[in-house]
Structure 1
Amino acid sequence: MPKIDYLDDPSAPKPNSLVVGVTAFVQDDAGRVLMIERADNGQWALPGGGQEVGESTPSAAVRETLEETGVEVEIVGLVGIYSHPGHVIAYEDGEVRQEFSICFRARQVGGELTTSAESTQVGWVEPQALDGLDIHPRMRVRIDDGLRADVQPYLG
């Protein structure tokens, strides 16, 4: 479903929902970051999506990563919790979500890179190549926090 992201935009529509979102920050042994090009907006992002009823939040991150990238992961930590009220996402069906995403640190345990209906490209990206990709600013915060490998997760 196509979407439009708004960031601190006074003309943005008012949010009418809040959904538990998850992303997974995964690096390979060479320090490259697992990234997808999203089918719904063409921007590059960490793999992720919405938690479903009946699953835990970490399990949602594992499932979404596998679905979108073909890579099997296990959760090894927390990068942060991201809930900036000025970031809203409008969908074609009228839903307008306020950002709420938990970004987990994960490591690959299997699988092979594969695209999906949600990802037009999947790959391991060198950190220095990130500046050349179209990445939403709020997603870039999560990536930068993951690259820092701080002991304390981001909360905000």
Structure 2
Amino acid sequence: MGRIDYVHAPDAPPANSVVPSVVAFVQNDAGRVLMIQRSDNGRWALPGGGRDVGESISDTVVREVWEETGIKSEVVNLSGIYTDPGHVMPYDDGEVRQQFSICFRARPAGGELRTSYGTTQVRWVDPSLDPWSRQLRYVPLGVPACEFSIFVRDVVAASSSPARV
């Protein structure tokens, strides 16, 4: 199912749904962050996706990271909740979602990088490079490079103490 991201665009269609989604900030021991290139819009992003019925939110994180990247992960803590009514995503089926992402820090627990039905590339990226666009064709999440760099800095600086999710 293809999608387009509109971020505060005057020509964006109005949202007709909100679906709780997760994104995972998976950081390895070398400090690199797991990133995917989405197959539906070509943008780079953190791995993540929608919650399935009957699934805990932490199970959603683990499943989405595995499905999209081939990396097994463990949730460390909740990093933040991002809800921007100006960020909408129309899909081919007529749904227009308002962005609602719950971001979790996670650590890798095995597996090997691979692509999936939803990804064209998967890689570990050095977050110390500013802006990330030096390494990636698009800045993740459709936001300006400086805003994403601030987001990365904040997540990296967040407490790494385990949280119940």
- Distance in 2 (CA, whole Å) between partners of 1:144 and 1:37 is 21
Tell me whether 1:146 sits opposite 2:165 in the alignment.
Answer: no
Q: SS where residue 155 of structure 2 aligns?
A: helix
Kept in 2, the 8 Å contact 1:80–1:142? The answer is no
Deviation at 1:72, TM superposition (A): 0.4
Q: Which shifted more, 67-76 or 133-142?
A: 133-142
Count of aligned residue pairs for this structure pair: 151
Q: What is the match of residue 28 of structure 1? A: 28
- Distance in 2 (CA, whole Å) between partners of 1:31 and 1:55 is 29
| Unmatched 5+ stretches in structure 2 | 161-165
Matches within 5 A, 1:72-83: 72-83=72-83
Q: What is the match of residue 38 of structure 2? A: 38
TM-score by length of 1: 0.90
Matches within 5 A, 1:127-146: 127=127, 128=129, 130-132=132-134, 133=136, 134-135=138-139, 136-137=142-143, 140=148, 142-146=151-155
TM-score by length of 2: 0.85
- Distance in 2 (CA, whole Å) between partners of 1:6 and 1:52 is 24
RMSD: 1.8
Q: SS where residue 61 of structure 2 aligns?
A: helix
1:2-22 deviation digits (Å, cap 9, x = unpaired):
111111122210100010110
Q: What is the match of residue 47 of structure 1? A: 47
Matches within 5 A, 1:1-156: 1-127=1-127, 128=129, 130-132=132-134, 133=136, 134-135=138-139, 136-137=142-143, 140=148, 142-149=151-158
Deviation at 1:50, TM superposition (A): 0.4
- Distance in 2 (CA, whole Å) between partners of 1:10 and 1:59 is 36
1:88-139 deviation digits (Å, cap 9, x = unpaired):
1111111100111101000111111111011111110111172322022189
Q: Which shifted more, 5-14 or 60-69?
A: 5-14
Q: SS where residue 55 of structure 2 aligns?
A: coil
1:25-70 deviation digits (Å, cap 9, x = unpaired):
0111111110001101111110001000010111101100000000
Deviation at 1:142, TM superposition (A): 4.7
Give 1:131's aligned amino acid: S
